[in-house]
Each structure stands twice: as structure tokens, then as C-alpha cells.
A and B are shown apart, each in its own frame.
Chain A
Amino acid sequence: MSQTVRPIDEPASQNEPLLQVRDLKMHFPIKEAAGLGRTKKVVQAVDGVSFGLKAGESLGLVGESGCGKSTTGRMITRLLTPTAGQILFKGTDIAQLKERDLRPFRRELQIVFQDPYSSLNPRQTVSNIISTPLRVHNLVKKGKELDRVQELLERVGLNPEHHNRYPNEFSGGQRQRIGIARALAVEPEVIIADEPVSALDVSIQAQVMNLLEDLRRDLGIAFVFIAHDLGVVRHFCDQVAVMYLGKIVEQGPREQIYGAPQHPYTQALLSAAPDLGTIRGVPPKERIRLVGDVPSPIDPPSGCRFRTRCWKAEDICATHEPPLEPKPQSTPGHAAACHFAEPKIDLTAASA
């Protein structure tokens, strides 16, 4: 299970991942008020991201806002066309496919959005929302749509009798279930879940997390799980990739990322998460406090992008960009992009 994350150059084996992303880049051009287009500046939202995802597995993309995790998710589902790089789904590169050729792949790659309020059309009934993908992909015969819709509603834990209702008649958690039913309608192999529970209350969050777990177990759907909540990612994902300013800074099996993080940013992120353990008598973990804000992705720092906030930074960090590679202390599948990577064990011992 832990072999999904591997150097991208490694030859494909029979263990070929379902989804393979290679050196994916998304640069958004920005207009400059005075420059009249002479100096073209771009926002380097995602700048060279590579990972693999096997069938039925779940990969967590974590990072702070602006690190490019959602943009990555949108590129994989081709809601955005990448500037460069490959997205191999079962060996076919879909990164630059035209809309018509893309359609069969859209069936396989579905997305669940963060905000269950703005991601459902308020003027369509639930039945309409869920059956649209069925019609688009010709998946059910006429007249059988309602049966399938009700089956899906039941699958996500909603009352099938409620198919005629509008989104405003449902609570946040129920709406998120509708969004999940819509993604399930076309029987995808991969679901990109973009912060699927962060808009929900804690008690409802756990309900939706359990639903996602069930879908993964029963239907064998692979997940790319995008979230900023480290606890939720640890719960759901076998593999975790930590992103900072458009790049993956550390990647590996869950146990390694949470148990022995090597990149300073991962360590800072884990130690910053508020902690329930201290109150139950667990000794407080060591605190790493980052100073300042994330630099602008328009003009990212040279070399290592994290060096402006890093306490370990030296001259080499400004001149040489550290590659994402296995480190001497790494266990298989664990890679970090840092010149001074070393494992730190005690950061999450107590966290909840």
C-alpha cells in the first residue's frame, strides 16, 4: 500500500496506479495595470506536482489556503486545463484533451465541493440535480431515472421520498450528501473531495466522514482528499502529501507524515494544530511558531519556497531548490523536499 508515492521516472509496473500526475503546473496570467502586457506575470498556483493514486486508495492533500491544493483537484477533474504536465488516467494523458474526448473520463473522475450551499443549484429539485449526470452520460433508460435517483439517495443516507425537494429544504450535512450522491451517480473510480466536511458542524462532520469511508470500502472508490484539517486527513487517508506555495514539500504514508515528519513546514503545521490532549494530562507538545505570512505566488522566493519562514534556512536554501526525494532516514515511499530534513517524532503524540 505504501508504494504509491514513488519517483515519477520509475518504469510502470503491473502495479500501475489508476491516476498518475506528473509535474503538473498551473500558472494563471495576471493583467498588469501599467505594464501593457510587456512583462507577463503569472500566479504560480501549482508549480510541478507529481503523485500517484492506486485504485481504492486515498491520498490526502494538505496545506494552507493558497498552496494550490484545490487548484490541483480542479486540474485533475479538468475543470481547469493545466499549463503543463501530465494527468495519466489508466495510462491516458487527459491533461490537454479536448472537451469531446474528455467526456468518457469525466465519468471516472468526479468532484465533491466544499460549500454545500453554493455547489447545488437552488432552483432545481434534488432529483434533477442527481439525474443530470445520468442523462448526460446516457446511463439510464428513460423512465428509470427516478429509481436510480432514489437508490442513490438511500445510498448516501437520505430519505428517497425527498427527491422532489429543493436544496434549501436540507441542512448543510444533508446537502453535502446530495453533492456526494451527484458524484456517485456516474459510478466514478476516483472522487476528488475538496474540503468536503470543513463547512459542517463537528457532529455532522463525523457523519459525512463515515459515509465517505463506507463508499470507499463498499464501492472501492479512490479518493483525493483535499483538506486543511490535519485530524480529518489522518483519519481518512493512507497517503498524505503536504503542499506549500504550489509545491509538494513532503509526501508519504500517513504514519510517516504524522509520526516522523521530516520537512520543517510539516513539523510546523502539525505543531500548530490546536490540541485537546494537554487537558487530559498528556504533556504539551513542542511548539513551532512560524512567523509572517505565506509569500506571494506571483513572485515566490528563489530556491526553497519555504525558506523565508524557515528557522533552518541557510544560504544553500536560497540558491538550490531542494528536490522531493527520499532522505537517509526515510522509510520506503516517504520523501521530503528539504536540504536539512530530519525526522521529528514528538509532534503529534497528543493531538486529537
Chain B
Amino acid sequence: MTDPASEDRKDTMVESAAGQAQTPADAKRGPAVATRERRQGAANPSGETPYLVVEDLTVKFPTADGLVSAVNGLSYSVPLGRTLAIVGESGSGKSVSSMAVMGLHDPKRTKITGSIRLGGDEIVGLPENELMKVRGDAVAMVFQDPQSSLHPLYTVGNQIVEAYRVHHQVSKDVAKKRALEMLDLVGIPNPQRRFSQYPHEFSGGMRQRAMIAMGLVNDPKLVIADEPTTALDVTVQAQILDLLNNLQKEFGSAIVLITHDLGVVAEMADDVLVMYAGRCVEYGTAEDVLARPRMPYTWGLLESIPTVSAANERLRPIKGLPPSLLNLPTGCSFNPRCPYKDRVKGERCTTDLPELLPVDGAGAHTSRCHLHDKASIYEAEVAPRLG
């Protein structure tokens, strides 16, 4: 109504089109150049050349109740040496999207479209034997629960040796030396003795260190850490986060950190991507997203955390529940829970899916919301409540 572009927004996949918009000049230069243009389209907030580029990723699972779109049109990128945190509630698609990057979805039960490129090489659609070469070598994953992701019947040392020998043609002795080096590097005391112990002989924090040692044994360029500290105590969590930070400095790898803890995000992340109901709703540098958020869902997350100044006041939770992925609301997925939707003229929030647009008209900080005066609403109403 006020915005002439609003007509276009009825297309639910606009954000992908925006990334790939080809000028006539592009078409003339041929496909190779077009690819490079596209990569720039998905440039990350830092502006550096990304190592991991995810573009218009959609992951769908057929279920008895219909096709579930767990991830819908997700695009992001991570350069080497930077950490991207993906934040969201359970079911928002943050783990599913990262599993796609690892190629961990069963191709028979999953429909993946879009593009995932590692250093320029496409992963989507690769056959299993090709994926095996990537997995654990260029990309490593650290899982949430170190108890269930280590094999209980093999010694920790053996598991690390195996991870190394899958990708390196070396003797067991050489691999053992490498494993001991890694155990030492992640701060496990007495690696010689620990090498031949079983996972149950390790404490939770030590197990997570062993997992990290195993993940990093092949010098991966990209580490996906899926809630790496959620199962750990605060003091141990602090140790593990320090460890990840130091290792990143040393090896210069890219990290994708999946978490629901905004405190962890603030400590670890360079960039932040907020997911809701399978879509990216806000994306930018950590400072942008946490200190100048421009999406009511992000505001709600920040307001849900108890603060010092408001110790005796009521918390302001986001009302309602996340929607079922089988039955997403029309328009903006967040609209049934959004306290600000009345401020958007007409019914746009319930009819049009907002595009992921730059918050200040340009720049790398994007959000998906129809509100016009997001900045002033945040500064006037939300920020004071955050203390």
C-alpha cells in the first residue's frame, strides 16, 4: 500500500531470487561468472571471501502427514577464521540445516534443494562415497551429547586414530602419535594414559574435549558445533568455549555454532543468524543482531532472558508456541505471536511473507519484518526493558 514493491512480496521465494538477480551483463559473461556473482550475492556480513556458502537451502522431509519443510530458503556464508552462530528454538531448523552441510541426511528420505559450497565445491547431490571424503576431513562436527556420540566399546584413542586413518594413508603408529598430539592440544592431561581409556572413564567435559580432538584431527576448514556446551556445567562450558576460540585462532577454521543460548552467542560469534520456523528471520554481525536487533522475534528472545536490573519484575515471554512446520501460518510465520503486527498497515503480516531485507536500506544486516520503524520501536520500547 505504502510500498510499491509490496506486490512482489507475495512470492514466498523472493529472497532466493534476490540473491541470484542477473543483470543482462551477467548473462553475457556466461555461467562461470554468474556463479561468482551469485557467491557475492550471499556474501557474509564481514565482506570477506566465504569458505562455506549456503544458498537458498531447502530441506524437506516427507512424513505421513505431508511434506515438512524443515528449512526454507536459507542462505548464509562463513569465511575462514570467523564464527557464525545459528540461533533458534527447537524445531526452527538450525540443526537440520547444519546436518545438510555435513551431508548427513538420508537422501531417500530427504529432499534437499539449493546449494551448499565448500571452498567453491558443491555438496548438494554428491554421492555418498564422495561425501565420505569431505565429511570428517574438510568439515568436522562436534555434537551436543559427547556421551552418545562416542562409541562406548572402543577406546577414545582408537576412535581418534580411526578418524585420522580414514583420511590419511598412514601407519597406526603415526596415527597414534597424531592422536596423542590432539589429546594434548585440547587440554586432556596425561594423554598417554587417556589414549587407552574408554569414554565412560572420561568426565563430561573431558569427553567433549575428546570429541573436539577427534573433530580437529584432520585439520578441518569448517567445524560445525551443534550445541557443544549445552550438556555441560557453566565452569566446564567456559573451558570448552575458550578451547574452541583458541583452536580457531590457531587453525583459522570457520565455525558454525548452533546454540539457543544468547550468552554463548555473545561470547563466541562474529556473525549471528536467527532462525524461526525453518527460515532466517535476522542475519548480521553479532553486534548488529544483539545490540541493534531489528526483528520482533529477536527482541522477544532477548527479553525472555532474566536481567539484573529487572530482577523483581515479570519476565516478558513471547506468547504462544512455535508453529507446527506442517501447518505454517500464512504471511510471516511469527505473526500469531508478534505483539507488533497491529502496527503494520492492513493485513500484510498475515498475508505476505516479508522478504529478508537490509534493515537500513543497504548493508549486510538483514531482517524479515514488515514493520517500518523497527529502529525507533527498538530504541524507544524494547531497549529500555533490556536494561
Contacts and interface: CB of A to CB of B under 8 A. Distances in A.
Interface of A: 64-65, 171-174, 201-207, 209-210, 213, 228, 230-232, 234-235, 254, 258, 268-269, 272-281, 287, 289-291, 293-294, 348-349, 351-352
Contact of A206 (B205, B317, B322): B317
B241 A210 contact: no
A274 B311 CA distance: 18
B286 interface: yes
B311 A64 contact: no
Interface in B342-387: 386
Contact of A235 (B206, B311, B386): B311
Nearest to A172: B90
Interface in B293-345: 300-308, 311, 314-319, 321-322
A274 B264 CA distance: 5
Nearest to B204: A65
Given A268-B235, A274-B241, A202 B301 contact: yes
Nearest to B264: A274
Q: How many B residues touch the partner, as a band?
A: 35 or more
A281 B305 CA distance: 18
* Top 7 closest pairs, chain A to chain B, by CB: A274-B263, A206-B317, A235-B306, A64-B233, A203-B318, A272-B238, A206-B304
Nearest to A284: B267
A234 B291 contact: no
Contacts of B286: 279
A273 B317 contact: no
B219 interface: no
A228 B242 contact: no
Given A268-B235, A293-B206, A276 B263 contact: yes
Contacts of B239: 289-291
Given A65-B233, A171-B321, A279-B266, 8 more contacts: A202-B89, A203-B318, A206-B306, A209-B317, A210-B315, A278-B266, A279-B286, A291-B239
What is the predominant secondary structure among interface residues of chain B facing chain A? Answer: helix
B242 A289 contact: yes
Nearest to A237: B311
Contacts of A204: 89, 317, 321
B300 A352 contact: no
Given A173-B321, A254-B311, A275-B263, A201 B90 contact: yes
A230 B304 contact: no
Nearest to B272: A279
Nearest to A290: B235
Nearest to B206: A293
B262 interface: yes
A290 B306 CA distance: 25
Contacts of A232: 306
Contact of B316 (A206, A275, A277): A206
A174 B306 CA distance: 21
Nearest to A64: B233
Interface centre among A254, A268, A280 (most CB of B within 10 A): A280
Contacts of A287: 238
A202 B235 contact: no
Most A Cβ at <10 Å: residue of B236, B238, B300, B322: B238
A258 B322 CA distance: 33
Given A202-B260, A293-B205, A293-B206, A276 B305 contact: yes
Interface string B158-185: 0000000000000000000000000000
Nearest to A292: B189
A268 B237 CA distance: 12
Interface string B209-238: 000000000000000000000000111111
